[in-house]
Structures are given as structure tokens and as C-alpha cells.
Amino acid sequence: MFALTFLGTSASVPSVERNHPALLVEAAGKRILVDCGEGTQRQLLRSGAGFRRLDRILLTHGHLDHVLGIPGLFSTLGLRQTSDVMTVHAGPGTLDIVVRMLAGLWGAGRAPIPVAFAPLTEGQVIDAGDFTIDCFPVRHRDTDSFGFSIQSPVRRHLLPERLASLSVPDGPMRGELAAGRPVVIAGRTIDPEDVLGPPGGGRKLVVVGDTETTDGLSRHAADADMLVIEATFLDRDAATARDYGHLTATEAASFAAASNVKQLVLVHMSGRYEDEQILAEATKVFPNTRIAADFDHIVI
């Protein structure tokens, strides 16, 4: 299960209703921040999520509307005397921006909390056992941008009633069966298929920040349970979208349809349009679309 809390859903200019980009993802007891726009620390408080167990930030790219909240968040965590190391994952160019920003405030190599910087290259970022995070390059103007694919494995769980009927005792034998290996009890072989339920789990969440094209991204988003992606412009302003390195609602929806995703969630909303206009354009192509608002909470 993945739980998403949308902390900021605006484009580069925030509004009364929408803060700068930030998304909190919770999985298997871990909490990960994707982007950290200005004011994210207050959004964490207003959402009720708070700062507990928050020790990792994934940055899609280095534009200021996606990173300016980092110094404020770190300052507050420092005042709370957190001893946890905050790991920041981003492309090398984005990390350089963050490092220089922190150095300008606190001096080279210093910050209010322990910080580790992990440069991204395409492939696996984290293997947490219960889920993995992979990253892939995204084209957005002159940045080293990345999208993220967060997946939980397909698992089969032991069926208690079958274990009891076959007299399989608690302990190592059940572990063997759960791992897919047969066991022998009193001369009788118990096969894993006798006690395992149907496959379950196997969720996939894909998050793409700002991007000027979806070319080459379908293999990463394919069959996702949810795709979170920007839709800054309407199709009537496609030329302007190209100039600024963003997608239209039609392009985002077409990408979702081509990638066979189950649900599309649009973010990075521009104040030049009403939400209803963006949603109407997207749902013509991909009906299972919603626009995220600040503080929306979605569970996959």
C-alpha cells in the first residue's frame, strides 16, 4: 500500500489554494518527500503529517519552485534537534544547487541537521525490501530531471486454515513454505501450493515532475496503478507549453492512455485556467483522471 499526501500542487506561481510542489509518499512505515517547494514545512503541519520519520527527499529537478523549501524544513528539524540523517536524492546539477543554497546560509559543508547527498543515475535508487524506488531521466529545459517509479512486490501469503488442516506447526517450516520450498512432516510432503493464497500486492506508483515531452517514458510508466504528472497548459496553448518545457492536459492524458495506467492524477496547476477546463480536456482522452488539490490524501 502507498499513501500519498499532496502538499503543493501549483505551477511556478503559487496561489491562495495551491502551494509550491511537494508530495509526501508513505510506504511500509517509511515517509519520503518528492520535491520540497517553498512553504513545504508548513504544509506538512497543516496536513497533519508532521515531520516524524521523514528522512529522505527525492528531487525531480533543481528549479527553485521545487527546492526552495529545503532550508526552512532543515532549520525547523534542527530546532527540533533531530539526529536522523536526511538523504537528498537528485541529479548532480540539482544537488549542486542545493549544496550551494545551504552553504550560502550556514557555510560550506554545514547544515542544521545531518545531511547526505546521493546523486541519481538511471536505475534503482532504494531497495527497502517491501518496496523499491527506481528513477529515470526526464527532459525539462536545461535541467537534469528525473521521474520516479515506486513499486511493491507481488506476494503470496500463507493461508492459516490450510496450515492448520495440514498440521504445519509454527516456526521454520512455515518460513520455508512462505519462501516457496516444500517441507516434510511425518513423512508427508507439503507443497507451497497447498498453503499459499493467490498473488497480491504488486502496486506501482509513477511520479513525473515538470517535463516537456513524454517521449521514451512509457516503459517506465507502463501498467502503473497511478501516474502523477504535470499538466500546466491546455492544448490550445501547446506552443507556449513547448516554450516553457511543460505538458498540456491532452498530452498528459494521452501518455496515461498509451502507458495503460489505471489512474491519472494531474498536478502543477496554472492559475491561468480553471480546474474544470483542465479536467474536461484530460478526461476526453483518459476518463479516470483527477486533479490533485493541496492536502488531498490518496491510498493505492
The HSE-up count of residue 125 (CA atoms within 13 Å, CB side) is 28
Pairwise CA distance, residues 59 & 143, whole Å:
12
143, 61 contact by CB (below 8 A): yes
Residues belonging to the active site: 65
86-90 and 2-8: which strand pairing? unpaired
179, 199 contact by CB (below 8 A): no
245: left (phi over 0), alpha (psi -120 to 50) or beta: left
List, in order, residues 6 or more apart from 228 with CB less than 8 Å away. 4, 23, 205, 206, 207, 208, 265, 267, 292
- CA distance from start to end of the chain: 6
Name the residue with cell 527532459.
139
List, in order, residues 6 or more apart from 98 with CB less than 8 Å away. 59, 62, 67, 70, 88, 90, 117
Which amino acid is present at 281? E
